[in-house]
Structure 1
């Protein structure tokens, strides 16, 4: 491609893999910007090496700041760092190779995206980040509040610019967190309605492989048009974790803090943590570590058990809302969990 030739001309003979990495890193920049970024990146060593590629990516992030509604995020944790949600993970795994030419020759379209609906703190946003990491795609976050709040351009222009940049960087994951908040006024506000309409059009007609992962906590605030089949490939419901999933989540966070999960009574702890979200389980592990550190000893299962006991579940505050969400999802969404209890719930 032309971008590769320009990069090669400016940097001299280079390793093809490094060249490909540099080109991917510069996606979304104009040819002139890419050349300038490469020149700065190679200034230290005089050649295109791994450090120069990293600098290209950093420069692109700085350039993306000119697009107020779009941010470039690190995606370090893969799906292995997400507890539970086995059905969602399987669905994503099946589509991992569906973005290349081999898939096109097979007759497959590029996956469009998914909508994750569910209880707060149960891993929806973490999944969006994990998808990008697992597929090794850039992770872009669309900030709808910034699009509507920009003083430099209209919301329509901000959204148009964001979608164009996302397509220029593709293949990429575009994450829209709590999408219902951004488009809640689409039915009553003319400006919001126009922006929402243009977003739906882009979602339906985009040709570049931009995989959209939108999350939502409150289905009652979602415009009905967004839920129509064809907008997203699938709508998944993310519920409170089952006992098996709670044990898995506790193990993940213990490993993250350099502890061996086998040294803890995970099944017992998971059984005592019914109705806790993944975020609440994580905070219980952190709280237990604080107690152990303050008393100059190693953390124990009892420390975690005490932290779990002291946690007031989100469920206690939003029980009715969560039940309503489950009722809505029973016939309209696919369970993200493979757990038998959840499978029975959605049967």
Structure 2
């Protein structure tokens, strides 16, 4: 009903804010429109400086590759949330979230955003850089307010990047403010009434306090590694055909480009497409050619030895922290090809 739509559209606002967005809608449309109220509400939340909110445009179709991870999330999170009655009969409680770890640029935030789209839920991002304050008590108040807002908007997906900022091992005894903020977040993560689905991300899972990764905080602790060959193919396709439409010349072979970009992150593959397109604009042409990709590839400086060490390290961390054995085995099998290919590449160079 329209009333339910209005209630949902204003979730998370206080009385004064509800009055404000209602008046804006009436003034502009001569009516209370849920979609208008929702957009005005989103503006208010963004202006708070502690949360970003958006309705994602793309689901998993925008996440190139990572098929094992996407299938795992579909089976263990999405299916349960989309079939609550059946799940309850089977004794399955709603998933509470997952912790993603891996090197930067592998698409952790993109995965979180696409999960929200798949679930048809709002996507919230904690503005970590604005939460931490030098003023006494401000960090704790900001964290508490952000979590309160998320719960008022819930069901939603809340993404917390660099979650290790709030719960590093050995850090908690040194700073009282950090300890109090960590306690607020920890209590909320463990609250059985929590309706918000959280996706945390970190590059340093080994530095997280043990209380953070205890059972009941996150359902799954999952590595997000560098894209393998098939993932690179799909990522290049996404950034030339899905998220953006890049006119490619007939001589462009994305399979060949994928083969030549061992150890690139997803972010670097996106940047490769953009650099190629910029070269076309610079030379006043209409289509990206194989030569444009050649020129763009030559501008990247990838330290293959360092990347291999990072991959080895994260696979070791996966052994220690990943809490689903079947997922871990599938993951390791998929990366045998990548590590073998890297050895071959080093010999070729």
Shorter-chain TM-score: which interval?
Answer: 0.7 to 0.9
Contact 2:226-2:311 at 8 Å conserved across structures: no
Question: Which residue of the other structure, out of 197, 204, 218, is the alignment partner of 1:232?
Answer: 218
Contact 2:247-2:288 at 8 Å conserved across structures: no
The CA deviation at 1:266 is 1.5
Question: Which residue of the other structure, out of 56, 60, 63, is the alignment partner of 1:82?
Answer: 63
The CA deviation at 1:189 is 1.9
TM-score norm. by structure 2 comes to 0.83
The CA deviation at 1:337 is 7.6
Q: Over residues 219-273 of structure 1, what are the superposed CA-to-partner deviations in whole Å (9 max), with x where a residue is unaligned?
A: 2332222122322010111111111110110011011332367943121111111
Contact 1:144-1:182 at 8 Å conserved across structures: no
SS of alignment partner, residue 298 of structure 2: helix
**Structure 1 counterpart of 2:37:** 56
Contact 1:171-1:208 at 8 Å conserved across structures: no
The CA deviation at 1:203 is 0.3
RMSD: 2.9
Deviates more, 1:98-107 or 1:55-64: 98-107
Deviates more, 1:280-289 or 1:73-82: 73-82
Contact 1:99-1:209 at 8 Å conserved across structures: no
The reply to whether residue 281 of structure 1 matches residue 261 of structure 2 is: no
The reply to whether residue 323 of structure 1 matches residue 312 of structure 2 is: yes
SS of alignment partner, residue 13 of structure 2: coil
**Structure 2 counterpart of 1:272:** 260
Question: Which residue of the other structure, out of 185, 192, 199, is the alignment partner of 1:199?
Answer: 185
Contact 1:275-1:315 at 8 Å conserved across structures: yes
The reply to whether residue 342 of structure 1 matches residue 324 of structure 2 is: no
The CA deviation at 1:108 is 2.5
SS of alignment partner, residue 310 of structure 1: coil
Question: Which residue of the other structure, out of 144, 169, 178, is the alignment partner of 1:160?
Answer: 144
Distance 1:276 1:318, change over 3 A: closer
Q: Over residues 106-156 of structure 1, what are the superposed CA-to-partner deviations in whole Å (9 max), with x where a residue is unaligned?
A: 533221000000121111111111111221211112234422317595322
Cα separation, 1, equivalents of 2:158 and 2:110: 13
Distance 1:65 1:246, change over 3 A: closer
SS of alignment partner, residue 101 of structure 2: strand
Contact 1:269-1:305 at 8 Å conserved across structures: no
**Structure 1 counterpart of 2:347:** none
Cα separation, 2, equivalents of 1:181 and 1:318: 24
Contact 1:38-1:56 at 8 Å conserved across structures: yes
The reply to whether residue 291 of structure 1 matches residue 284 of structure 2 is: no
Cα separation, 1, equivalents of 2:329 and 2:293: 27
- Alignment gaps of 5+ in structure 2: 339-349
Contact 1:132-1:139 at 8 Å conserved across structures: yes
Cα separation, 2, equivalents of 1:275 and 1:126: 19
SS of alignment partner, residue 248 of structure 1: helix
Total equivalences in the alignment = 327
SS of alignment partner, residue 212 of structure 1: strand
**Structure 1 counterpart of 2:230:** 244
Distance 1:307 1:123, change over 3 A: same
Deviates more, 1:287-296 or 1:308-317: 308-317
**Structure 2 counterpart of 1:11:** none
Cα separation, 1, equivalents of 2:272 and 2:211: 39
**Structure 1 counterpart of 2:80:** 98
Contact 1:25-1:53 at 8 Å conserved across structures: yes
The CA deviation at 1:35 is 4.4
SS of alignment partner, residue 78 of structure 2: coil
Contact 1:251-1:261 at 8 Å conserved across structures: no
The reply to whether residue 121 of structure 1 matches residue 105 of structure 2 is: yes
**Structure 1 counterpart of 2:343:** none
